[in-house]
A and B are shown apart, each in its own frame.
Chain A
């Protein structure tokens, strides 16, 4: 069965500083991997996705993520955060066999001025 672990429950970062959110997954085959963002009281918005090919993927809002098969990781990064990046971020893994989509517990990002 697939699963996702986001080790960091809460991260505080200064505006303009870099951000890295960790994600580890468990899945036997090649997974579909995603990062979603949720602003308070809102639904989830896709930031980026990985299916195959280049292991460094670019997303919206200046985010990128790197797939590392050897580490079963798909960490999300942003070089310089903006106050509007304060939100909850979810990593997800999709199974290429039964299309089941599983999410991690999320990481809340607080941006301080």
Chain B
């Protein structure tokens, strides 16, 4: 049982490049979330999804897009990376039956130079 898996774990991008972060969960959870973690800022919600085919904006959505075409996957895209997007990105999933207890992936460390 893998839980929540994030791919890749590390990435360095040049300013202006694009990339997609993949989050996969095998717990059949309804809800999925993308956060970014920056020193002194805690975890800030970028986008989230309450079901397949649905997405919603969080606190800091600008510069990011997401898609949830399959229930088990939640993709986070950066169309044109900026140095301000250097961060550690965490994906999480949860389920209403468990009171939205979130299970987290191990994180993706992204550096934009």
Instruction: Tell me the bound Cα distance from A94 to B45 in angstroms.
Output: 12
Question: Is A42 on the interface with B (CB-CB < 8 A)?
Answer: yes
Q: Which residue of B lies closest to A94 (CB)?
A: B100
Query: Which residue from B43, B58, B101 sits with its C-beta under 8 Å from A100?
Result: B58
The answer to whether A43 touches B105 (Cβ under 8 A) is yes
Q: How many A-B residue pairs have CB under 8 A?
A: 63
Question: Is B64 on the interface with A (CB-CB < 8 A)?
Answer: no
The answer to whether A9 touches B104 (Cβ under 8 A) is no
Given A43-B90, A44-B90, A46-B101, are A100 and B42 neighbors across the interface (CB < 8 Å)? no
The answer to whether B45 touches A101 (Cβ under 8 A) is yes
Number of A positions contacting B (CB below 8 A): 24
Smallest beta-carbon distance A110→chain B, Å:
16
Question: Is B15 on the interface with A (CB-CB < 8 A)?
Answer: no
In chain B between 84 and 100, which residues have their CB closer than 8 angstroms to a CB of chain A?
A: 90, 92, 94, 96, 99-100
Q: Which of B18-26, B33-41, B66-74, B75-83 contacts A (4 or more CB under 8 A)?
A: B33-41
Chain B 36-59 against A: per-residue CB contact (8 Å), 1 yes, 0 no?
000011111100101000001011
**Most chain A beta carbons < 10 A, residue from B44, B48, B96, B100:** B100
* Interface residue ranges, B against A (CB under 8 Å): 30-31, 33, 35, 40-45, 48, 50, 56, 58-59, 90, 92, 94, 96, 99-102, 104-107
